[in-house]
Structure 1
Amino acid sequence: MTPVRPSLRLEKSLLAAGRVTVIGVDEVGRGAIAGPVAVGAAAVTIDVRRVPQGLADSKLLSQARREALVPVVTRWARTAVGMASAQVVDEQGIVAALGLAGSRAIGTLVQDGVSLDGAVVVLDGSFDWLTRALPAEHRPLDVQVRVKADRDCASVAAASVVAKVARDDLMIAAHDEAPHYAWASNKGYGSTAHYDAIRAVGPHELHRKTWLHAATSVALDGFAELDAVDG
């Protein structure tokens, strides 16, 4: 199946209405049981060119295609990726972790010279988890949520690609230290091999311990087996 090709229709309409910069934002790793959540950001301005060939929502692309797109995307837009660790997910919850990762991505764009004056964020989804996590110096920043923006909007699709590749690279590197979890293939999501390894050797520091399902039958921190906890 050919991936849906995103367009610049929304970005160009926002820029034509007077916005100076449109920042597409998307998250990766929300549903994993190990590893960080990652949030990508891709900023485009009025001189934005046509959509890079082959760009699509990262979930619809092969690993090889995503990796090939990263240098293309980073020339086409100003990009950044922020992350929040499994420990943050455990201690503060997924919404706070997403906000922290997103604020870090926006902060990196600012450090790289992207002005937030006249900027608007297009955030994939139906819930704004970003605004309240932004530091005071980055407010007010207009954040507009849009369902399936990662499929339809080129800036958001670009953000999804850079975030996915950055997070995958981290999990592949972690695989070398702990190959029994099969992170090189599952990237921290709950595959059968992943759960089998947790049962056999216990959790790693990269695991979101509050997210491990009772099916793993793992005792954590000296306590009895987990009650059912869904992520």
Structure 2
Amino acid sequence: MTAVRPSLRVEKRLLAAGRVTVIGMDEVGRGAIAGPVAVGVAAVTLDVGRVPQGLADSKLLSAARRTELVPVVRRWARTAVGMASAQVVDEQGIVPALGQAGAAALGSLVADGLDLEGAVVVLDGSFDWLSRAVPPTMHPPTGSLDVVVRVKADRDCASVAAASVVAKVERDSLMTTAHEDAPHYAWASNKGYGSTAHYDAIRAVGAHDLHRKSWLHQASSVALDGFDELEVVGR
């Protein structure tokens, strides 16, 4: 698949309009049946340099290329990744989980010294799942954090593409590490998504603590035929 090269056109327009910082934000792992949902952020300012060569939406890049880009992206922008566990997804739902992960990522930037006064978040998609999750203590003194949603921002906006890359690499690394303790689920290859091997392993040995149990119960009858209750195994 040919990667679409993102630009800073949207970011520079926002900065020219008076924004101090533009924070690209994107999620990874929303559709997985195991593992956390991850949200990446990449903050840029007026002095941002040229877009790193080869940067694109993480879905359009090979695993090797994403890994190569992470240190480049981290030098180019201020980045962070927040996560919400499978348990949070089960207990609160995917939208609150996304919000918690996004707020955690922003909180990491703030802890690292980023001032949210004059900042705007460019959020990939068509729905703002972030604003309600940002605690009042993180709001700028002048009011609530400004959030702009943009469809295909991960493809078009360099800051959002950068956020997607750091989130994807960090989440994939977590799932690859988890594979070492539970190799039968093939997480090193499927990263927690619902592959045939993944579902076969759930049938054979039951569900792991990293599985989103509510999602397994709601999965297709073909994928999970024969499940009455899901026994939790592992950690």
TM-score, normalised to structure 1's length? Answer: 0.94
**Residue matched to 2:229:** 220
1:199 pairs with one of 197, 203, 228? 203
Is 1:185 the counterpart of 2:189? The answer is yes
- For the 8 Å contact 2:24–2:41, the answer to whether it is kept is yes
The superposition leaves residues 132-164 of structure 1 with CA deviations (integer Å, 9 ceiling, x where unpaired) of 000002221000000000000000000000000
Percent identical residues = 79
Q: Runs (4+) of structure 1 moved beyond 3 Å?
A: none
Question: Secondary structure, in 3 states, of the residue corresponding to 1:52?
Answer: coil
Alignment root-mean-square deviation, CA: 0.9
- For the 8 Å contact 2:90–2:214, the answer to whether it is kept is yes
Question: Secondary structure, in 3 states, of the residue corresponding to 1:43?
Answer: strand
Provide the rounded CA distance (Å) in 1 between the counterparts of 2:201 and 2:16. Answer: 53
Is 1:80 the counterpart of 2:80? The answer is yes
The within-5 A match list for 1:37-76 is 37-76=37-76
**Residue matched to 1:146:** 150
Provide the rounded CA distance (Å) in 1 between the counterparts of 2:87 and 2:194. Answer: 18
The within-5 A match list for 1:20-169 is 20-139=20-139, 140-169=144-173
Q: How far off is 1:221 after superposition?
A: 5.5
Question: Secondary structure, in 3 states, of the residue corresponding to 2:53?
Answer: coil
Q: How far off is 1:2 after superposition?
A: 2.2
Provide the rounded CA distance (Å) in 1 between the counterparts of 2:167 and 2:112. Answer: 17
Provide the rounded CA distance (Å) in 1 between the counterparts of 2:114 and 2:65. Answer: 27
Paired residues, number: 222
Look up the equivalent residue of 1:220 and give its one-letter code. Answer: E
- For the 8 Å contact 2:41–2:80, the answer to whether it is kept is yes
Provide the rounded CA distance (Å) in 2 between the counterparts of 1:45 and 1:63. Answer: 28
The superposition leaves residues 177-199 of structure 1 with CA deviations (integer Å, 9 ceiling, x where unpaired) of 00000000000000000000000
Unaligned runs of 5+ in 2: none
Q: How far off is 1:201 after superposition?
A: 0.3
The superposition leaves residues 106-154 of structure 1 with CA deviations (integer Å, 9 ceiling, x where unpaired) of 0000001111000000000000000000000222100000000000000
Look up the equivalent residue of 1:160 and give its one-letter code. Answer: S
The superposition leaves residues 39-76 of structure 1 with CA deviations (integer Å, 9 ceiling, x where unpaired) of 00000000001100000000000000000000000000
- For the 8 Å contact 2:96–2:129, the answer to whether it is kept is yes
- For the 8 Å contact 1:38–1:84, the answer to whether it is kept is yes
- For the 8 Å contact 1:198–1:218, the answer to whether it is kept is no
